Amino acid sequence: MSLARLRGAGVWQGLRGRLLAGTLALLAAGLLIADVAAYTALRTFMGDRVDVTLASLADRINEQAGRGPDTPISWDTVRLLAPSTQYVAVVGDDGRTLVAHAAVSGREDLTPPVLPAPVRATAEPFTAPSAGKGPGYRLTVIALPGAAEGVTLTIDGMRVRPAALVVGVSLADVDATLHRLLIVEITASAAILTAGVLTAILVLRIGLRPLRTVADTARAIAGGQRGRRITVRHPQSEIGRVAAELNAAFSEREDAEDRIRRFVADASHELRTPLTTVRGWSDLYLSGGVADWEQADLAMTRIGEETGRMQQLVEELILLARLDARRPLELAPVDVGPVLRGLVADLGVVESERVISLRVEPPRAVVLGDEAALVQVLRNLLGNAVRYTPADSPIDIVVSGADTDLTISIRDHGPGLDPQSITRAFERFWRADGGRKANGGSGLGLSIAREITEQHRGTLALHDRRDDGGGLEARVTLPVHHDALSRTV
């Protein structure tokens, strides 16, 4: 598969492209390091072998040159000591080459080396280039005793006194071996990279299949299949955990949509009744069904009452929308004692026959909150206690405090609620049956009270007390504001 096809197919886009590119980069880097290390190690090894061969050749020639003055050295003998790919030269006292021999028979790629001028004896081998395009040579210079010892060399029947011998080994075999290694490494690396590309594509296609499943499921849910969920095969894996969290998010979204649908349906139902009443009285008036002023006053009264119910419902709906939007509250220290005493005084004017008791146990019951919102919570709870109990039924309010929390308990002595009703009491537009049937309420009061309490980092719960003297207890728990208490001490 070519790079152009991969790019055209979108493989190089997104997560799969980045994973594939990263995998190939790591593979290429590993192959490059391995190839360079192998090439360097072989070149070092073969260079050492050449130096060993060169030292052995130099020893043999030096042995021939050191036999004594009475036995001249034959150039033919020295030349025969240099087999194929090796080189021997004789250097005079002035550093010029007297005669040289390169064993290059049958090797057109080998040419003699280029010697430095003048040639001087060295302790270490050195590398010299060849005279042509062939490979270079590894050379060493052997210093001879010279005229003082009478060492002579016969060349074509003539005796000369050499100062040094140059012995060398061609690097042709080394270069050829390294060249073949380089070709093998390039070929093998290309094959490994190709196999790596294909393997990585296959592995990524299989490994990322769960992500495609996630995307397909999300697309299906967006298309209307709200109950569809992702199949989690391995919950402990990374993709499994992501799928589980997405399933939870999808379920929460489905629940939220269901709540919105129920909310809209309930709100429409609640508005339909007063609108029908208003429409009925207005149609009756317009059709001439209202014969006298007494009936006209009744029509206007009923229209006003139903309009007030709609206004209250709309205001509560607006308040719930604001609470759902989690708008920041105007927080300030609020002393619950004076707030409750004021509400009890207002309620005593309206409910003159009812006994309402208030007991505030801590000297100062201070919380951090929005006073208007907290007043609405307490007013809703007191309103429920009044609305759902007989006119002469008492109401007990107790404020108790601990080190961290403040508890406000509002208890009536009415019929109470069964556990199932208590569970549903905070649902929007829900109303209980029987003795606690709503008398003009919208069914939103407890929902609003709980939302406000939770935004103050508190809790609101209902407790049935029918086994303990009867009635229902609403218990609000709020965090104590210690900063305000410490400043007043």
Instruction: List C-alpha distances in Å: 288 to 171, 275, 445.
Output: 124, 20, 39
Burial 287-316 (b: 16+ CB within 10 A, else e): eeebeeeeeeeebeeebeebeebbeebeeb
pLDDT in tens, the chain (489 residues): 444 444 434 444 567 778 888 888 898 999 999 999 999 999 999 888 888 888 887 777 667 655 555 556 666 666 666 665 578 787 777 777 777 777 655 555 667 788 887 777 776 888 888 877 778 888 888 777 654 455 566 766 667 777 777 888 888 888 889 999 999 999 999 999 999 888 888 887 777 777 777 777 878 877 777 778 877 777 777 777 877 888 888 887 777 777 777 777 767 766 777 788 888 888 887 887 777 777 788 888 888 888 887 887 777 777 777 766 666 778 899 999 899 999 998 888 888 888 989 998 887 788 998 888 898 899 889 988 888 888 888 999 999 986 788 999 999 888 888 888 888 888 777 766 543 444 455 677 788 888 889 888 999 999 887 667 678 899 999 998 876 544 443
What's the distance, CA 124 to chain centroid?
60
DSSP string, 271-309: HHHHHHHHHHHHHHHHTT---SHHHHHHHHHHHHHHHHH
**Which residue type, as a one-letter code, is found at position 137?**
Y
CA distance 209 to 212: 5
Residue pair 405/477 in contact (Cβ under 8 Å)? The answer is yes
**DSSP code for 124:** S
Among residues 134, 207, 234, 219, the alpha carbon closest in space to that of 175 is found at 134
pTM, two decimal places: 0.47
Q: What is the CATH number of domain 238-324?
A: 1.10.287.130
**Which residue type, as a one-letter code, is found at position 266?**
D
**Crossing angle between the packed helical segments 238-286 and 293-324, to the nearest 10 degrees:** 170
What superfamily does domain 332-488 belong to in CATH? Answer: Histidine kinase-like ATPase, C-terminal domain (3.30.565.10)
CA distance 484 to 477: 18
Kindly give, in sequence order, each residue whose CB lies less than 8 Å from that of residue 209, ignoring residues fewer than 6 positions away: none
Phi, psi dihedrals of residue 28, rounded to the nearest 5°: -65, -40
Determine the Cα angle at 54 with ends 51 and 59, to 5°: 125
* Structural domain spans, the chain: 1-207, 238-324, 332-488
